[in-house]
């Protein structure tokens, strides 16, 4: 009696059991049921493989979407901090400009010292004007980063939803044995994959 096929089946079973150890109970049960159905009906093996691929793609897209949402929050925090810094320097510039006006209008005993102070303030004002432009530009770049991250996150979220729909529709094939659901599920999955990929093209 040839024991080769029996040993091969036992090896496959051991591999499946080891994979199930790292899964949630419901996920392991679903995987086992899908595997058993695919073994009972060889024509369903491509469907089972497609479901596995879609499940992996859903997981990857979900992680990418979460990362983009986190990046949007961080960019928003940076933009807020940058605008706060801009406002602080703007207030300091206004106060210094007011001091210069007062010193220029008042009659002081030490006019030479007052004039020297005014010149120093004017030099600071000129420097701060350039700094304010840089701070404003940096804040706007952060805001652009927020909008970009939000648009990317939206693409990944939509791609994830389409991939999940494709996974569910494909699983209907196991119940109905109608391959039309398989093709329809792959169609949803392909569209979801393309939408998620366009997230990298957003600038």
SS in 3 state form for 52-65?
Answer: HHHHHHHHHHHHHH
Return phi, psi of residue 131, to 5°.
-65, -40
How many whole angstroms separate alpha carbon 122 and alpha carbon 119? 5
CB atoms within 10 A of CB 22: 8
CB contact at 8 A, 195 and 159: yes
Chunked into runs of 10 residues, the chain (203 residues) has average pLDDT values of: 45 45 49 55 79 92 93 91 86 72 58 61 70 84 91 93 94 87 94 92 82
What's CA 189's distance to the chain center, in Å?
Answer: 20
CB atoms within 10 A of CB 178: 11
Cβ burial, residue 37 (10 Å; 0-12/13-18/19+):
middle
Q: Is residue 186 part of a domain?
A: yes
Cβ burial, residue 90 (10 Å; 0-12/13-18/19+):
middle
> Which DSSP state fits 41?
-
pTM of the model: 0.65
Q: How many domains is the chain partitioned into structurally?
A: 1
Exposure class string for 190-201: b at 16+ Cβ within 10 A, else e: ebbbebbeebee
CB contact at 8 A, 181 and 169: yes
How confident is the model at residue 34, as a pLDDT? 56
How confident is the model at residue 90, as a pLDDT? 80
Q: Is residue 20 part of a domain?
A: no
pLDDT tens readout for residues 122-153: 666 777 777 788 888 888 899 999 999 999 99
Q: Is residue 97 part of a domain?
A: yes
The region that residue 177 occupies, defined by phi over 0 for left and psi between -120 and 50 for alpha, beta otherwise, is left
Range of the domain at 85: 45-201
CATH code of the domain covering residue 88: 1.10.287
How confident is the model at residue 157, as a pLDDT? 94
Going by C-alpha positions, the residue among 6, 5, 9 that lies closest to residue 35 is 9
Q: Is residue 10 part of a domain?
A: no
């Amino acid at each position: 009696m040839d024991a080769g096929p029996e040993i091969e089946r036992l090896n496959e079973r051991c591999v499946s059991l080891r994979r199930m150890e790292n899964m949630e109970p419901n996920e392991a049960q679903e995987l086992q049921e899908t595997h058993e159905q695919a073994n009972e009906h060889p024509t369903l093996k491509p469907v089972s493989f497609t479901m596995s691929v879609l499940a992996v793609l859903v997981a990857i897209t979900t992680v990418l979407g979460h990362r983009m949402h986190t990046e949007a929050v961080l960019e928003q925090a940076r933009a807020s901090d940058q605008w706060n810094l801009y406002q602080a320097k703007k207030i300091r510039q206004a106060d210094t400009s007011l001091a210069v006006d007062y010193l220029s209008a008042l009659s002081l005993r030490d006019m030479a010292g007052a004039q020297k102070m005014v010149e120093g303030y004017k030099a600071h004002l000129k420097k701060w004007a350039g700094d304010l432009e840089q701070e404003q530009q940096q804040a706007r770049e952060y805001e652009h980063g927020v909008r970009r991250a939000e648009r990317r996150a939206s693409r990944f979220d939509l791609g994830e939803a389409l991939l999940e729909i494709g996974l569910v529709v494909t699983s209907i094939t196991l119940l109905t044995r109608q391959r039309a659901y398989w093709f329809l599920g792959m169609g949803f999955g392909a569209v979801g994959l393309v939408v998620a990929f366009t997230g990298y093209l957003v600038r």
